[in-house]
Amino acid sequence: MRIDVVTIFPSYLAPLREALLGRAIDRGLIEVAVHDLRDWTHDVHQAVDDSPYGGGPGMVMKPQVWGEALDSVIGPVIDSPARLVVPTPAGRPFTQQLAHEWTSAERLVFACGRYEGIDQRVVDHYAQRMPVDEVSIGDYVLVGGEVAVLVMVEAVVRLLPGVLGNPRSAAEDSFSDGLLEGPAYTRPEVWRDLPVPPVLRSGDHAAVDRWRRDRALERTARLRPDLLAALPPDALDEADRAV
């Protein structure tokens, strides 16, 4: 997978070259290129924004600059293997399911807006020619899209084959079965008078699996009842319903 990010703050994306993601790059599992939007300006001030039509606070990012940048980064959009992703609070929710969907993309191109966002015609123009996703990482507003890109890239790349040391990790993620993960424990057996639940040390794998499922169901019911309600009817067996 190739990932391109267009931004006015390239250094914000430095974490993409660290740790797990950095190793995935070094191992050739992904390619990452970060582009400075100002490289496509032609004025001495390198202007990337302007006042909003209709008035109102803040500034809007100029379509001309974005058009030149994305044409250059995406290349010929006819039959482009790329998806264009625009982080925005006004987007569809980014979910584990969407992260999984994006793992089949050959290319992801992220357009990081700042200020009050990018002139809508940029999305409208490219949406006529290729898949474009306006995506939110939650119901809150950041200063720009860069942090959202870090979140989404990590969520997608960790699902790619070979990236995680143990493929079971991704398969057993929170949300992989529609539930939140239950609690996890490691040594010591007792810490500040708090013991590890004995079942986890019993060696009885069936009992451990049942205990973990029960804790996941309890946690999901307590913190995310919406996820329980969204489960398909056959997702819960009799033992689950007894929790």
Ligand X SMILES: Nc1ccc2ncsc2c1
Return residues touching ligand X (CB under 6 A): 87-89, 113-114, 117, 141-142, 144-145, 148
Handedness of CA 36, 38, 41, 44 (dihedral sign): negative
- For the bound state, the minimum distance from the C-beta of residue 225 to ligand X, rounded and expressed in Å, comes to 25
Q: Specify the 3-state DSSP secondary structure of 118.
A: strand
State how far the alpha carbon of 113 is from the alpha carbons of 48, 144, 170, in Å.
10, 6, 30
User: Active-site residues: which are they?
Assistant: 89, 116, 158, 173
Beta carbon nearer to ligand X, 145 or 178 = 145
- For the bound state, the minimum distance from the C-beta of residue 149 to ligand X, rounded and expressed in Å, comes to 9
Report which residue's Cβ sits closest to ligand X: 113
Q: Specify the 3-state DSSP secondary structure of 76.
A: coil
Picking from 140, 131, 129, 127, the residue whose alpha carbon sits closest to that of residue 93 is: 140
Beta carbon nearer to ligand X, 113 or 178 = 113
Cα(173)–Cα(216) distance, integer angstroms: 11
Contact call for residues 131 and 85 (beta carbons, < 8 A): no
- For the bound state, the minimum distance from the C-beta of residue 140 to ligand X, rounded and expressed in Å, comes to 7
Beta carbon nearer to ligand X, 142 or 239 = 142
Cα(82)–Cα(85) distance, integer angstroms: 9
Beta carbon nearer to ligand X, 74 or 148 = 148
- For the bound state, the minimum distance from the C-beta of residue 50 to ligand X, rounded and expressed in Å, comes to 15
